[in-house]
């Protein structure tokens, strides 16, 4: 018998997920899980299926088979806006900011969208603007933002919903070396505050530095999963992901 008083296992679980697009197998039987207070890296070459998996976890797409569980609840078919209510937030690899609104307005509107009062939303926006170094651009429209700022606004906006889990699809693309250092500190502080973070990036150095575990996808299939030390030492990773002459420290 199921004990309904037992605490739910706290984790975001992907179990046996497959997805094909007109014959292209974007994901084949992928399983992984990450927990609050953990940074979970998801890496793989272009077209490996990373964004497809984020779309499925966040409810923007449905798997052909397999399930998504959030803290023990099956959310495979739950609408994205329901998942985002305090539980799950994501960023997008491309765009998706409200371009006609300023940076501050983007964050405020998103916070109000999950039920915060205008006053609380403004206060949360000020915090996030400071956390992500967005002060100089706070009152500019998002349409005019340099790429690196756009990505950081995407992360700040996702955090405005106060999620327990956040899915970051290449949030550091376009950041310069200095900005990447600050961004890595932001990610660590999310973990320290107890968020479960899924981080996708092609910058393997950043991934090895900030992740607790790393999952490697190649052509929609799991190649390996392990700690940064295990992944760094993996010949399979170097061969399959970067080519025989490649180095993971690019
Ligand atoms: N809506 C779609 N319709 C058709 N094919 C799609 C669709 N979305 C993804 N694909 C295909 O699925 C595969 C996985 O794509 P996906 O965008 O998930 O890869 P990715 O790992 O995020 O790549 P990148 O590193 O370039 O962002 C690719 O072959 C892609 O062309
Ligand atoms: Mg992608």
pLDDT tens, per residue, the chain with 250 residues? 556 666 668 999 999 999 999 989 999 999 999 999 999 999 999 999 999 999 999 999 999 999 999 999 999 998 877 766 668 999 888 778 888 999 999 999 999 988 899 999 999 999 999 999 999 999 999 998 888 888 889 999 999 999 999 999 999 988 888 889 989 999 999 999 999 999 999 998 999 999 999 999 999 999 999 999 999 888 877 776 665 444 444 4
Residue 5: inside a domain: no
The pocket around ligand 1, CB under 6 angstroms, is made up of: 21, 24, 26, 44, 46-52, 93
Question: Total domain count for the chain?
Answer: 1
Rg (CA), the chain: 18
Domain extent, residue 58, equals 12-95+164-242
How far does residue 51's CA lie from ligand 2's centre (Å)?
Answer: 4
- Residue with CA at minimum distance from ligand 1 atom 24: 46
**Residue 125 in domain:** no
Q: Which atom of ligand 1 is nearest to the CA of 93?
A: 27
Asked if residue 157 belongs to a domain, the reply is no
pLDDT of residue 242: 61
Distance from Cα 220 to the centre of ligand 1, integer Å = 9
Q: What is the DSSP string of the chain?
A: ---TTSPPP--EEEEEEEEEETTEEEEEEEEEEE-TT-EEEEE-STTSSHHHHHHHHHTSS--SEEEEEETTEE-TT--HHHHTTTTEEE--SS--S-TTSBHHHHHHHHHHHTT--HHHHHHHHHHHHHHTT-GGGTTSBGGG--HHHHHHHHHHHHHTT--SEEEEESTTTT--HHHHHHHHHHHHHHHHTT-EEEEE-S-HHHHHHH-SEEEEEETTEEEEEE-HHHHHT-HHHIIIII-TT--TT-
Q: Tell me which residue has its CA closest to atom 17 in ligand 1.
A: 51
pLDDT of residue 246: 46
Q: How many CA atoms lie within 13 A of 199 on its CB side?
A: 32
Q: CB within 5 A of ion ligand 2: which residues? A: 50-51, 93
Residue 80 lies in a domain: yes
Cα–ligand 2 centroid distance for 202 (angstroms): 10
Ligand nearest to the CA of 20: 1
Residue 118, pLDDT score: 96
CB 33 within 8 A of CB 13: yes
Q: What is the pLDDT of residues 88-136, one digit of tens each?
A: 999 888 778 888 999 999 999 999 988 899 999 999 999 999 999 999 9
User: Ligand 1 centroid vs 115 CA: distance in angstroms?
Assistant: 33
Question: Is residue 180, in this structure, part of any structural domain at all?
Answer: yes
Position in ligand 1 atom list of the atom nearest CA 220: 14
Q: Do the domain assignments include residue 119?
A: no
Whether residue 179 lies inside any domain: the answer is yes
φ and ψ of 182, to 5 deg: -65, -35
- CATH number of the domain at 87, please: 3.40.50.300
Q: What is the pLDDT of residue 174?
A: 81
Q: Ligand 1 atom closest to Cα of 53?
A: 18
- Give the number of the ligand closest to the Cα of residue 202: 1
- Ligand 1: which of 51, 91, 151, 173 to mutate, judged by most atoms within 8 Å of the beta carbon? 51
Structural domain contains residue 224: yes
| Span from the CA of 52 to the centroid of ligand 2 (angstroms) | 7
């Amino acid at each position: 018998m199921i004990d309904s008083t037992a605490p739910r296992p706290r984790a975001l679980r992907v179990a046996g997920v497959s997805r094909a697009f007109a014959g292209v197998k974007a994901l084949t039987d992928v399983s992984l899980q990450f927990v609050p207070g953990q940074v979970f890296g998801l890496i793989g070459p272009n077209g490996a299926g990373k964004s497809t998996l984020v779309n499925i976890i966040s409810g923007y797409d449905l798997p052909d088979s397999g399930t998504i569980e959030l803290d023990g609840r099956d959310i495979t078919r739950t609408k994205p806006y329901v998942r985002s209510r305090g539980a799950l937030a994501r960023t997008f690899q491309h765009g998706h900011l409200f371009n006609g609104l300023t940076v501050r307005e983007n964050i405020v509107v998103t916070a109000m969208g999950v039920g915060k009062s205008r006053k609380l939303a403004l206060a949360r926006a000020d915090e996030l603007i400071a956390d992500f170094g967005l002060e100089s651009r706070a009152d500019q429209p998002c349409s005019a933002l340099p790429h690196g700022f756009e990505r950081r606004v995407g992360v700040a906006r996702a955090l405005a919903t106060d999620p327990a889990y956040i899915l970051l699809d290449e949030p550091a693309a376009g950041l310069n070396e200095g900005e990447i250092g600050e961004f890595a500190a932001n990610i660590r502080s999310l973990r320290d505050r107890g968020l479960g973070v899924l981080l996708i990036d092609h910058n393997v150095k950043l991934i090895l530095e900030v992740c607790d575990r790393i999952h490697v996808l190649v052509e929609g299939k799991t190649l390996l999963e392990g700690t940064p030390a295990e992944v760094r030492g993996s010949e399979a990773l170097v061969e399959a992901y970067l080519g025989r002459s490649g180095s993971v420290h690019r």
